[in-house]
A and B are shown apart, each in its own frame.
Chain A
Amino acid sequence: MSAPIELHGVTKTFGALRALDPITLDVEAGEIVTLLGPSGCGKTTVLRLIAGLESPTAGSILVDGGTPDAARHAKRIGFVPQSPALLPWRTVEANARLLLDINRAASPTQPSASVDELLAEVGLDEFRDAYPHELSGGMQQRVGLVRAFALDAPILLMDEPFAALDELTRTDMRHLLGRLCEPLGTTIVYVTHSIAEAAFLSDRVAVMSSRPGRVAEAVTIPLGHPRAPELEDSEEFFHVETTLRAALRAGSDR
């Protein structure tokens, strides 16, 4: 069986701008792979290519055994955008249900967790009837996570979901996401420029460098599962962070 996500020699140019050098990357089933790199290195472009929101200039992409578009039509991809993108006229619960309400024919008949359960899991059960403007930034992005997880898709794509949050909230959200990801065995591609997020969440980190974007180094994270927040105080975690930081620096010097 092939891996759920396979990129082979994928490039992307926007007009005269070469955004991506050929990228080859396989993500195994149940694996969490992070694309780590500075702003403008094309990591979001890679994610959008996998999601079928953008077509590659060259190379091939397989998602769930087919094209990204086919995966999109079959709702096999849960997408978490950078801004929470909540609809202000929908309540928290209705926002969390949004992706289930769209393209219903492809919705899961028996999702492994209901929207209610997921809202409770992220501590929002008392805010089900609240509107987005009544929530803090962290709470809004938690709704964004529930919205993606509620799809019960085998693949989750997350585009710097916590980039706009303050440091303390970010840390909480990182731990919350770790907890949500733990039992599912979902294949996840996570985009970030935060070394701590990459180290805490991933099985493997593709360190990218910019202009044009390319994968400078793939780092396997030698940390076991489940991962508790205390892990971040350990020496091995510190070692992982140092390795990633060195890889980032090496990538940008080249």
Chain B
Amino acid sequence: MRFLRSIAAPMIGLVAFGLAWEAVVRIFDIRRFVLLAPTAIVAEFLDAPSFYLENMLVTARHMVLGLTTSLAVAILVGAVMASSRFVEEAVQPVLILILVTPWVAYITSVVVWLGFGEQPILFMVAFTSFPVFAFGVVGGMKSADPAARELLASVSANRREVFWRLRLPAALPSIFTTARFALGLGLAAAYFAEGRALEITGLGAIGQRAALDQTTGAEVLWTTIVCAAVLGIAGLAAISVAERLLLRWHSSQRG
């Protein structure tokens, strides 16, 4: 019963949203470029499914590569921050600076710096999500039980042991929480950067090219928007599955 509801309720919610969207478009006769009806988007997708799937895959690749790089660096930096008060206080303002500076403003400079192609895209995905991951890692590692830290110290555990046995597992719950925000940031950065880096493939590349053509571009633009949303949902689902598997011990995964 509960399982059925957990499937049916979100489905009903999405279908209702789609129906309302369709109705609004038809009733107010909204211009296709402003808002395209879901039925037209589905039709466009079914017209060239492999084209859209391939471009989704390209964007997914940018996201996964960018986000994993960002997470790996954040774990390294976060581990140092968590073990030194001085480093933490020194790095914090830099992270905040990266977090609050609108990345759309300096993306052109990044493209000039790294050249057209994949590099500026991966850089933007990693760079925008980095502060989020870093704050998550530091917070998580600092939440490690002080009594457990003393216990490890009582048998003279080295830094590596403290990191692998205590700090990293303790940081996992907050890493998973921040990963959801990082995913949203990374997806937006990937979509936008793909257009700016003049790539040929990728949802952002074809979507932003289509956006320039206000007479015939509406179908492609809106289909890439929906494909990007689907990609985001798939990413969130993957995070939830990984969380279920890795955090069985954590209170958030019980009850």
A121-138 near B? 1/0 per residue, CB < 8 Å: 000000000011100000
Q: Which of B147, B150, B155 contacts A103 (CB 8 A)?
A: B155
Q: Is the CB of B249 within 8 A of A83?
A: no
Given A53-B154, A103-B161, answer yes or no on A87-B251 (Cβ-Cβ < 8 Å).
no
Q: Is the CB of A88 within 8 A of B250?
A: yes
Q: Which of B139-160 contact A (CB under 8 A)?
A: 145, 147-148, 150-158
Q: Which residues of B contact A69 (CB under 8 A)?
A: 156
Q: Is the CB of B251 within 8 A of A73?
A: no
Considering the chains assembled together, what is the distance between the CA atoms of A157 and B165 in angstroms?
23
Asked if B184 lies at the interface with its beta carbon under 8 angstroms from chain A, I say no
Given A101-B165, A103-B161, answer yes or no on A73-B156 (Cβ-Cβ < 8 Å).
yes
Asked if B38 lies at the interface with its beta carbon under 8 angstroms from chain A, I say no
Q: Which of A85, A89, A99 contacts B155 (CB 8 A)?
A: A99
Q: Which of B150, B151, B172 contacts A99 (CB 8 A)?
A: B151
Q: Is the CB of A89 within 8 A of B249?
A: yes
Considering the chains assembled together, what is the distance between the CA atoms of A247 and B153 in angstroms?
34
Asked if B188 lies at the interface with its beta carbon under 8 angstroms from chain A, I say no
Q: Which residues of B contact A81 (CB under 8 A)?
A: 147, 150-151
Considering the chains assembled together, what is the distance between the CA atoms of A104 and B96 in angstroms?
41
Asked if A82 lies at the interface with its beta carbon under 8 angstroms from chain B, I say yes
Q: Choose among A53, A88, A106 the residue with the greatest number of B CB atoms under 10 Å from its CB.
A: A88
Q: Which of B147, B161, B250 contacts A102 (CB 8 A)?
A: B161
Q: Which of B80-136 contact A (CB under 8 A)?
A: none
Q: Which residues of B contact A87 (CB under 8 A)?
A: 145, 148, 165-166, 169
Q: Is the CB of A102 within 8 A of B150?
A: no
Considering the chains assembled together, what is the distance between the CA atoms of A249 and B79 in angstroms?
48
Interface size bucket, A side?
20 to 34
Considering the chains assembled together, what is the distance between the CA atoms of A131 and B247 in angstroms?
12
Q: Which residues of B contact A103 (CB under 8 A)?
A: 155-158, 161
Asked if A75 lies at the interface with its beta carbon under 8 angstroms from chain B, I say yes
Q: Which residues of A contact B147 (CB under 8 A)?
A: 81-83, 85
Q: Which residues of A contact B248 (CB under 8 A)?
A: 131
Q: Is the CB of B153 within 8 A of A53?
A: yes
Distance in angstroms from A134 CB to nearest chain B CB is: 10
What secondary structure prevails in chain A residues at the interface with B?
A: loop
Distance in angstroms from B110 CB to nearest chain A CB is: 39
Asked if A196 lies at the interface with its beta carbon under 8 angstroms from chain B, I say no
Considering the chains assembled together, what is the distance between the CA atoms of A89 and B166 in angstroms?
10
Given A85-B145, A89-B169, A102-B161, answer yes or no on A72-B151 (Cβ-Cβ < 8 Å).
no
Q: Which residues of A contact B148 (CB under 8 A)?
A: 85-87
Q: Is the CB of B249 within 8 A of A75?
A: no
Chain B residue at minimal CB-CB distance from A83: B147
Asked if A207 lies at the interface with its beta carbon under 8 angstroms from chain B, I say no
Asked if A216 lies at the interface with its beta carbon under 8 angstroms from chain B, I say no
Q: Is the CB of A53 within 8 A of B165?
A: no
Q: Which of B145, B166, B172, B251 contacts A133 (CB 8 A)?
A: B251
Q: Which residues of B contact A52 (CB under 8 A)?
A: 154
Q: Which residues of A contact B254 (CB under 8 A)?
A: 133
Considering the chains assembled together, what is the distance between the CA atoms of A249 and B172 in angstroms?
49
Q: Which of B200-253 contact A (CB under 8 A)?
A: 248-251
Considering the chains assembled together, what is the distance between the CA atoms of A202 and B38 in angstroms?
78
Considering the chains assembled together, what is the distance between the CA atoms of A85 and B155 in angstroms?
14
Q: Which of B151, B161, B251 contacts A85 (CB 8 A)?
A: B151
B148-192 near A? 1/0 per residue, CB < 8 Å: 101111111110010001100100100000000000000000000
Considering the chains assembled together, what is the distance between the CA atoms of A202 and B231 in angstroms?
65
A116-155 near B? 1/0 per residue, CB < 8 Å: 0000000000000001110000000000000000010000
Chain A residue at minimal CB-CB distance from B248: A131
Asked if A200 lies at the interface with its beta carbon under 8 angstroms from chain B, I say no
Closest 5 CB pairs of A and B: A85-B147, A79-B154, A85-B148, A89-B249, A73-B156
What are 8 residue pairs bridging A and B, where the CB atoms are less than 8 Å apart in the complex? A75-B156, A77-B154, A85-B148, A86-B148, A87-B148, A87-B166, A88-B249, A131-B249
